Chains A and B, each alone.
Chain A
Amino acid sequence: MSENTKHIIEVKGLDISFRLPTGNVHAIRGLDFSLDENEVLALVGESGSGKSVGVKAVMGILPENAVIESGEILFNDGEETIDLLKMKEAARRKTINGTKIAMVFQDPMTSLNPTMSIGAQLITALRSHSDIHKKGAYARGVELLREVGITDPERTMDQYPHQLSGGMRQRVVIAIALSQSPKLLICDEPTTALDVTIQERILELLQSIQRSRGLSMIFITHNLGVVSKIADKVAVMYAGKIIEKGTVFDIFYDPRHPYTWGLLSAVPELSDKKGELYSIPGTPPDLSKEIVGDAFAPRNPYALAVDFKAEPPLFKLSKTHYAATWLADPRAPKTEMPKELADKIQRMKQEAKDYAES
């Protein structure tokens, strides 16, 4: 069955709620995406759209009060397809976590154990699945630190997290995540908490590691500017589901969902000196209430009457491009993206062309 589809990970109809004393929060409302080997998927969307919860489900580290109502998370690294949600926690830990899937978090300041040396943390991670000797683990740890661009790894092995800068810590976190050669690396906004100058370098590091190791990667960001650099595919999330997905080209040059239009309009341009940044008006819906129709409709200037009544399905626009908006329905009135955005995309295309020619 999974012969023709070589997805390393495939999330199907994932539905997650949080149980709170005040009621349920329906954080993930039918999440579908897939990722092939050696591919980078960018997951974008405003804060609170469910990006972190979605990947925590893949990693198996959801908080206690999260309940998976339905769905499948199929993992296949060339042998057999396993539904991760059907696995017992202990089995997951033994066979998946670290060795198949690993994760890098947003804040390197809180991602490392403050009372353990970097070396001890790396060695503990390295020895969690294999009975590699301490000496061997130490050597491997030094190697890993070198791979993530730390120039004096022996020294860093003896240091504690508080002695390192944010950028260095994030490199260590990446080394720990890579320590057992996972196939899939999940990065949840790995540069958001860093200095702007360091962001670029960590991004380049992740990109080069992804290439050299042939990793599959889910890269979460709310910064669309980053996406075009690192990703092959993009999935745009809104209120707990994916509302548009496609290749980087599909999303950047031919966006169809008004929410994606909004996100793209909000990306600052290099040439834009006026600095008057667009932001999508309104706020995301309250997920503790039932959502009728398209969750984005109240903020959508292009909303049709049907948007307030029925939820749009994910329309297939091309082999790679999907969008969940009634505007994609053949019966819908023809609607173009805003003129400013069309111009902006034109400029981006020109820049890319100039860049390629230079």
Chain B
Amino acid sequence: MMGKYLRKRILISVAILFLILLILFLLLQFMPGSPFNDAKLTPEQSEALKKSYGLDKPVIIQFFRYVGNMLRGDLGVSYSISPNTPITTLLANRFPVTIRIGFMSLILGTVIGVILGLVTAFFKSRILKGIYSVLTLLGIAVPSYLFAVFLSWTLGYKAKLFPLLYDFRSPLYSSVMPVMALSFIVMAVIARFTKSEAEDVLRSDYVMLARCTGMSSRTIIVKYILRNSLIPVITVMAGLLVGLLTGSLVIEKMYAVPGIGELLTNAISSNDYNVVIALSFVYSALYIVVMLILDIIYCIVDPRVRLGGKAE
């Protein structure tokens, strides 16, 4: 049953990606300028360049050629920001850094957030509540670049604990500050969500029934509370991950991280169609894949999804 469901999901995902690609293609036709609006080029030269890349053909032909090449793993070459470099090479250089920093922030933020949320929900302590409120409020209200500035000033400039800029010779060490800056919001969102879920579960009838049967607190926490309050957190994590991978632009700029954010800004400002399309497409694909993985995880951990809801 689950296999059938997943096959359907994957087919739908592919169809959606195809559609996204088509829309991207059409939208870019309406963008002002072209990759070759260098003042030094004469109109004739510009036309010749277009012709050499096949950009003089009708859009629909361009589109199908693109899809055909893509299926063979060829995303084309960059026109302007790094002329004639295959885009796959550009991506291969840039993506791993962004993904690594994104995942590290997600994991760090989630671990701290879950612990903070659970502990605050379980123990009715004022001090804990205070710490929780301050941290979550700061995390949600203060933009991550301000944390970045703060971290750079304190840990980087004053304490000289970490390098101020990303350094590919020590990728982990120099990722510490960007990861910390990005994980703050993750921590805050996850902590809030975990706390409210855990409080709902603590008040639920099924936990009361468990208490009526005299189960130990440990059993109740492990079998009743953790699973039921953490399953919904997975959804939030997926949303945050997509945000981290696409939205860490400012942080990448501040720490000079050679990631995908910088590539995207450059490509858009210089009309490098192929790069823009490829990146947008990869982002969409990433989003869809993350959601698909999320669904699979749900199938595994939540019997309500796995077994469907048919009462007899």
Contacts and interface: CB of A to CB of B under 8 A. Distances in A.
A64 B123 CA distance: 11
A113 B211 CA distance: 12
B307 A128 contact: no
Interface string A74-97: 000000000000000000011011
A113 B303 CA distance: 11
Contacts of A128: 213-216, 219
B159 interface: no
A97 B310 CA distance: 33
A110 B215 contact: no
A107 B205 contact: yes
Contact of A125 (B208, B213, B310): B213
A173 interface: yes
A163 interface: yes
Interface size class of B (residues with CB under 8 A): 20 to 34
Interface stretch (B23-31, B60-68, B187-195, B222-230): B222-230
A98 B210 CA distance: 9
Contact of B215 (A64, A114, A125): A125
A99 interface: yes
Nearest to B203: A63
A163 B305 CA distance: 11
B134 interface: no
A115 interface: yes
A160 B213 contact: no
A235 B206 CA distance: 28
B126 interface: no
Main secondary structure of the interface of A (DSSP, over half): loop
Contacts of B301: 115
B123 to A, nearest CB: 12
Main secondary structure of the interface of B (DSSP, over half): helix
A350 interface: no
B213 to A, nearest CB: 4
B185 to A, nearest CB: 28
A98 B312 CA distance: 29
Contacts of A98: 212-215
A67 B30 CA distance: 68
Contacts of A124: 210, 215, 219, 223
B204 interface: yes
Given A99-B214, A115-B231, A128-B219, A176 B304 contact: no
Contacts of A105: 205, 208-209
A113 B209 CA distance: 9
B12 to A, nearest CB: 25
Contact of B214 (A64, A129, A160, A168): A129
A179 interface: yes
B211 A93 contact: yes
Contact of A113 (B228, B310, B312): B228
Contacts of A352: none
21 contacts: A98-B213, A98-B214, A99-B214, A102-B213, A103-B209, A105-B208, A111-B205, A112-B209, A113-B210, A115-B227, A115-B228, A120-B223, A125-B210, A125-B215, A160-B307, A162-B303, A165-B311, A173-B209, A177-B209, A179-B213, A180-B214
Interface of B: 124, 203-206, 208-216, 219, 223-224, 227-228, 231, 301-304, 307, 309-312
Closest 8 CB pairs of A and B: A97-B214, A98-B214, A98-B213, A125-B213, A110-B205, A160-B303, A128-B215, A111-B205
